[in-house]
Amino acid sequence: MNEIKFEIVEEIGVLSESAKGWRTELNLVSWNEREPKYDLRNWSENHEKIGKGIALSKEEVLKLKEILNEKVGE
């Protein structure tokens, strides 16, 4: 199995943290040396272990923001 390479280009924010130190974070991440995407997922405290998550393009993030503003409000 090939190793997944990643680089956290920008740490944007932490949404929550578990008692075990895992954090749900929004970051700008380059996966396998590709163009960075906005990435929402669980990370271990030192960013060595990665949980399941989702990577979104800038356009997808803007659309998500639009939907959330409509449905949840500002």
Res. 3 pLDDT band, cuts 50 70 90 = confident
DSSP states of 5-61 as a string?
A: PEEEEEEEEEEEE-TTS-EEEEEEEEETT---EEEEEEE-TTS-SEEEEEEE-HHHH
Fold of 6-71: Transcriptional Co-activator pc4; Chain A (2.30.31)
pLDDT of residue 50 exceeding 70: yes
Query: Which of the pair, 70 or 3, is modelled with greater confidence?
Result: 70
Residue 66 to residue 12: CA distance in whole angstroms:
19
Residue 10 to residue 36: CA distance in whole angstroms:
9
Per domain, the residue ranges of the chain are 6-71
- Segment 43-60 shows an average pLDDT of 95
**Within a 10 A sphere around the Cβ of 15, how many other Cβ atoms?**
11
Amino acid 32: pLDDT = 94
What value does the mean pLDDT of the chain take?
94
